[in-house]
A and B are shown apart, each in its own frame.
Chain A
Amino acid sequence: MDASTWVAKRTPPNALARLFDYKPFLVAVCLFPAVGLLLAFLTYPLGLGIYLAFTDMEIGGNGKWVGLENFEYLITDPIFLNSVWNTMFYTFVATVGKFALGLWLALLLNHHIPFQSAIRAIILLPYIVPTVLSAIAFWWIYDPQFSIISYVVVDQLGLREKYFDFLGEPWPARWSLIVANIWRGIPFVAITLLAGLQTISPSLYEAAMLDGASPWQQFRRITAPLLMPILAIVMTFSVLFTFTDFQLVYAITRGGPINSTHLMATLAFQRGIPGAQLGEGAAIAVAMIPFLIFATLFSYYALGNRKWQQGSKDD
């Protein structure tokens, strides 16, 4: 960065250097790697996936166009319908849980507490560690015979006669998965909302306090409206990734017992890769797209709304 050495190295521009200073060329060169990668491995597969949904493609085979046959079959398939319902239920309950607890945790952390940054670092651990590996830990916690929760509740506290059968029955299995998902989602929600909380000027609370506002009024009238833009974005991402969740369910139940906990993503995998029915798997995946479009539009609207609220013009 030293000016004198920099001047010394300067050479008269040759043709190549001039080419790289030609702006359209430079823009094209700079965008090529990112856009190329995304077109080849994201846009093209997205289109291919929609095409595959209308074929009877199998792994390594040549599929032919079958029109809406896959969808016509799926709409009568109770396992698929169950997975759609499950996905919505899972997304809704887990999102509500994550945001209620995450917001609570963020509000707790926003107080003046000792070791704040250390606590914040520890809280992010469930988010950092590979989901599958923490899911395996939950699998062990949910073991029918040696569950530590059963041990505490039955053997130590004596609140129940029988051990919990967490993953053996449909409803307990669904709730167990939702709890694991909430556990994994809390850190992300809490840390991002905490960042949002910290941008709220303390002078607003000071003014409210002087006017005699109760803590609930402060939350309702200051925290909630100012947090709303960031909350909307975080929620969009959270809904999107919970709706398309795969790892937790695949690791803990693999869709069982008797296909009752399948989400659309795990069912698509089940049919598409081990079942080799690429066309049918793709049709299940494509059935998720309308929801994703809805979530994206919601995100875009929230972003636009935020610009408007902060009164900035361009960025």
Chain B
Amino acid sequence: MTDARTAQAALNRRVDAETSGGVTEAEGPQLLSWDSRARRIVVIYIPLVIFLIVLLFPFYWMTITTFKPDSELLDYKNHNPFWVAAPTLANIKKLLFDTDYGHWLVTTMWVAIGSTFLSILASVLAAYAIQRLRFKGSDYVGLAIYAAYLVPPSILFIPLAQVVFQLGLFDTSFALILTYPTFLVPFCTWLLIGYFKSIPYELEECALIDGASRLQILWRITLPLAVPGLISAGIFAFTLSWNEFIYALAFISSTENKTVPVAILTELVSGDVYHWGALMAGALLGSLPVAIFYMFFVEYYVSSLTGAVKE
């Protein structure tokens, strides 16, 4: 990727040098027009800035609404809606102290960590068996797990509700911890198969010759080398479980067991009057943990997103 970029840069520089170095208009019209600064601004930078504004505006709006006092919130005549004249923490205070927000946050965290841990454990073992132990039909097992990723939660939640009910897990966080792996395991397994593939097989052969058992090889050689893959899979699984909605909506009914996304939509919206300030505060605070988490691991996110597609 870096190679491609530097090569591209070098190419651009060379074209620049050529165009400024006395190539006449007739000889290189396309090069000239394509790389001229004005055209570059119109063709690249202006659309890019518009994209950024549109993609970020809902977050800006969410943030600005959170800090608006009620007087400014619904009065566009006397106050510029794009800015806050007198910022207030009342909405956040209301959210934190008048609702179960803290409780929801803890539940969501516990569900996300629990299901991530379970999924990573299952995925590491499965990916190792499929990619490294290479038994008869391992390709088909890999394909079957990949196919599982193509079964969306929207067609599973009704029968799963029945299963969860029969297992006596309805309205408990275990209902979510056990069902989230249905979409986490396929994703993580495919990501890890890709990582395991990149580790030279010779390392394992050396360990085998030295008398290590298969599990020792997995634990002491393959896993330490696959740490970036484990981090990618882990943070992705964590984010996906944090954001999950439909299972949490269908399997949880009591207020205190809800996860943040579900609770904000179902508990904060009451009657016909929407408290937009508190709603936006809830949306902002529910997004911040993943956003901050994301900031620390941007590169892993990008690599796992693109890696999973390329695999």
Report which A residues bind B (CB closer than 8 A).
1, 6, 10, 13, 17, 20-21, 23-24, 26-27, 29-35, 37-38, 40-42, 44-46, 48-49, 52, 57, 59-60, 101, 104-105, 108-109, 111-113, 116-117, 119-126, 128-134, 136-138, 140-141, 143, 145-146, 148, 151, 155, 183, 186-188, 191-192, 194-196, 198-203, 205-206, 209, 212, 214-215, 230, 233-234, 237, 240-241, 244-247, 250-251, 264-265, 268-269, 272-273, 278, 281-282, 285-286, 288-289, 292, 295-296, 299, 315
Contacts and interface: CB of A to CB of B under 8 A. Distances in A.
B17 interface: no
Given A42-B182, A123-B55, A21 B213 contact: yes
Contact of A52 (B158, B213, B310): B158
Contacts of B122: 33-34, 37
B178 interface: yes
A296 B224 contact: no
Given A31-B126, A215-B30, A278-B162, A285 B305 contact: no
A110 B283 CA distance: 32
B155 A49 contact: yes
Contacts of B34: 215
Contacts of B182: 37-38, 41-42
Interface-central residue, A111, A137, A288, by most chain B CB under 10 Å: A137
A212 B30 contact: yes
Contacts, number: 316
B51 interface: yes
Nearest to B259: A130
Contacts of A145: 74
A240 B146 CA distance: 14
Nearest to A57: B162
Interface in B29-54: 30-31, 34, 44-45, 47-48, 51-52, 54
Contacts of B154: 244-246, 264-265, 268, 285, 288
Nearest to A280: B158
Nearest to B155: A285
Interface-central residue, A34, A122, A191, A289, by most chain B CB under 10 Å: A34
A272 B243 CA distance: 22
Contacts of B309: 192, 195, 230, 233-234, 237
22 contacts: A30-B126, A31-B125, A32-B125, A45-B156, A45-B162, A49-B156, A101-B51, A122-B52, A124-B294, A126-B55, A130-B245, A130-B261, A131-B245, A132-B265, A133-B283, A141-B58, A143-B276, A146-B73, A265-B246, A268-B155, A273-B249, A278-B158
Main secondary structure of the interface of B (DSSP, over half): helix
Interface stretch (B7-15, B83-91, B92-100, B226-234): B7-15
